[in-house]
Chains A and B, each alone.
Chain A
Amino acid sequence: MKLAVFWGCRILTSQYAYEMSVREVFKKLNVELVDLSEANCCGDPIKSVKDSAANYLANRVLAIANATGLDGLLVPCNRCHFTISEAKDVMSKDKNLNKKIESLLKEEGLAYNSHIKIWHVIDFLHNFVGLDSIKKTAQKPLNGLRLATHVGCQIIRYSDLGRVDDAENPRKLDELVEALGAKTVDYAEKLDCCGAALMYGHPNSALSLAGAKIKALQNLGVDGLVISCPDCGLMFDFRQKDAAATVGAKTSLPVIYYTQLLGLALNIEMEKLGLHLNQSPVEQLLMKIST
């Protein structure tokens, strides 16, 4: 199995742990990832500035993916996944914009193709690889762990666009975690946003959104939070201290990418999974796994 992969900006420029763990885990699952060459930002950050330009950027990514000749594109970032899915939808509906974008792409020798299937890590693992085969390949079950999941906003909303999981009752990430032997908890704040998109204009508010969720999770007494989006990684892991400070909470919540967790279950070395790069106290979690 071969998949093209589009990392977006945040993974490539700071959330290295996500990139490393995806690369390692997919290798172990016999899925070859082909990096896009000369790709660009998906367009999300400039939707607010000029929507048509954002659509151009997203569709350029699809055009570059098309050039690989592969029929599936892995997009591990929630925000990129949403932006590209919506841009693809707009291309099919807005004939004028479609023409404009196609001609811009042509100038670069690129061709648009709407047939490529867009995967997120979550639905690829859940729908394509399947829970059973993940259960089977996991050599080191994570029994005894009690984890919370945070799927993020943009891979589940809005349903009319066709998203990775159910908008109101997303269970795929939970099931993937449970497939490794760990328990997941349901909690009232599960669908609350990490706040990342506010970092541009209102960083303090953004951090306090993340802080509120961290506080709630700590009160719940879970062993850690499982995520699968680099923006959520930025907020809950990289900026955990600042976030918790906004709501006067202590920080001791291990935050881990699902692919890191899966990597551990697949017996991949911690360094290779980038576990030394997490800024939250993941060692608490790692200790529970080794005992």
Chain B
Amino acid sequence: MGLTDLMSMAKPNMDARENFLSKLSSREFVNCFQCLKCTSGCTALKLLELKPHEIVKLVNLGFVDELASSDIIWTCVTCLKCVQRCPQKASPYHIIMVLRNMAVEKEAQIPEEYLKTVSRILETGLAEAPQEVTTRKMEVFDRKSLNLPKITFPRESFQVAFMKIMEEK
């Protein structure tokens, strides 16, 4: 019954599509009429072959699982050009972000730096640790030697709250 992708024998998964829909704030993407403006202007296309119009279409047809497990969703540069210029307000960028969230949920392979960042935020509140900077004259500086104010890191109460929202289903 129904639709089959004969190249991979995959079938649409409408439950996954429902789950996807519940995470997306707008349903405008169903209006996509494949004008290809998004892909023509996508920053990640030439380098990494990201084709936003294809992602929108696949989601519409119900091939959400395949996308959530794919590498392609991790190539978006978040330049937001597709959101700005889509004549149907379909917002491919927002779709890609939801797919990334779904990838994490189903514990698919994702670039590890993202998960490391979560741990850093949990530990210090910040996504990065303060670095020393070496100048062109090979002098080394940090916040202190530059007389910049000390960073005040959030306390444990933050960690508790952050953990709660991270673990929530």
| Residues of chain A at the chain B interface (Cβ within 8 Å) | 9-10, 12-14, 16, 19-20, 35, 37-41, 44-53, 56-57, 60, 82, 90, 93-94, 100-101, 104-105, 107-109, 153-154, 157-160, 167-168, 191-193, 195, 197-198, 200-202, 205-206, 208-209, 274, 276-279, 281
Contact = CB atoms under 8 A, between A and B. Distances in A.
Given A46-B114, A46-B118, A49-B118, A94 B25 contact: yes
Contacts of A53: 162, 165-166
Contacts of B137: 276
Contacts of B25: 90, 93-94
Interface string B126-154: 11111101011101010100101101111
A20 B133 CA distance: 14
A48 B143 contact: no
Nearest to B155: A38
Given A48-B101, A107-B160, A209-B47, A13 B77 contact: no
B79 A45 contact: no
B75 A277 contact: no
Contacts of B127: 9, 41, 44-46
B80 interface: yes
Interface residues of B, number: 62
B97 A48 contact: yes
A41 B101 CA distance: 19
B40 interface: no
A7 to B, nearest CB: 9
Nearest to B160: A107
A279 B133 CA distance: 10
A168 B23 CA distance: 29
Given A49-B115, A51-B97, A192-B43, A154 B161 contact: no
B148 A16 contact: yes
Report, nearest first, the 9 A-B pairs whose CB atoms are least far apart.
Answer: A201-B111, A157-B80, A193-B79, A40-B125, A200-B113, A48-B100, A158-B83, A41-B127, A205-B47
Query: Which among B76, B110, B121, B168 has the highest number of chain A CB atoms within 10 Å?
Result: B121
B98 interface: yes
B58 interface: no
